[in-house]
Amino acid sequence: MKFLKTSIFAIATVFVLSNFVAAEAVVPNTGRGYSAVTSSTVTPLADGSTLIQQTTHGFWIETTTEAGFPSEKAADCNVTMLLSAEGAMIAYRSICTATDIDGDLFVGTIGATKSDFSDCAWTMYGGSGKYAGVSGGGQCAPAGTITKDGNSSKSTWTGEWVLP
């Protein structure tokens, strides 16, 4: 009888734990983005630093993505940059929404504190439709400008999504 109770408890524990493991799937996510500045405000601050606030619109193309998640998305971002009096970046933060062809969207952030963006990181916070409950994050990097004025640029990223 003790063996039967122990066996039932062990099987139930394995079943419960397997459901927790099966509840989340981690998938790689890499891609590239193309963005253009749609508005920009530059504010000189009293200490000589400069605050730059921008909105951007772009296209993000994921080169690896989970089945059922369209690889192409339109992205709108609100960017805030703080530059030192010497023009070095102190902080970069961006909050973005990316919308796919089905109208589902997710919210993500991008951040860096080094002028060369070597510490650039992104985080995904879920969204609507198929993106509800999806999280994730990884590294990002600038990939250069597209126009001479620097208002259109490209970027790349790597990381992973955690599916609910």
Tens digits of residue pLDDT in 53-112: 999 999 999 987 666 789 999 999 999 999 999 999 999 999 999 999 999 999 999 999
Q: For residue 16, what pLDDT is reported?
A: 39
User: Is pLDDT at 15 greater than 70 in this prediction?
Assistant: no
pTM more than 0.85: no
Contacts of 55 (CB under 8 A, 6+ apart): 37, 38, 39, 40, 76, 77, 78, 79
CA distances (Å), origin 141, targets 42, 56, 118, 120, 155: 23, 17, 7, 6, 6
Q: Please give the mean pLDDT across all residues of the chain.
A: 87
Contacts of 156 (CB under 8 A, 6+ apart): 30, 31, 32, 33, 140, 141, 143
Contact 157, 141 (CB under 8 A): yes
Give the H or E element holding residue 84: none
Tens digits of residue pLDDT in 134-164: 999 999 999 999 999 989 999 999 999 998 8
Higher pLDDT, residue 109 or 8: 109
Rounded-to-integer distance, Cα 45 and Cα 53, Å: 13
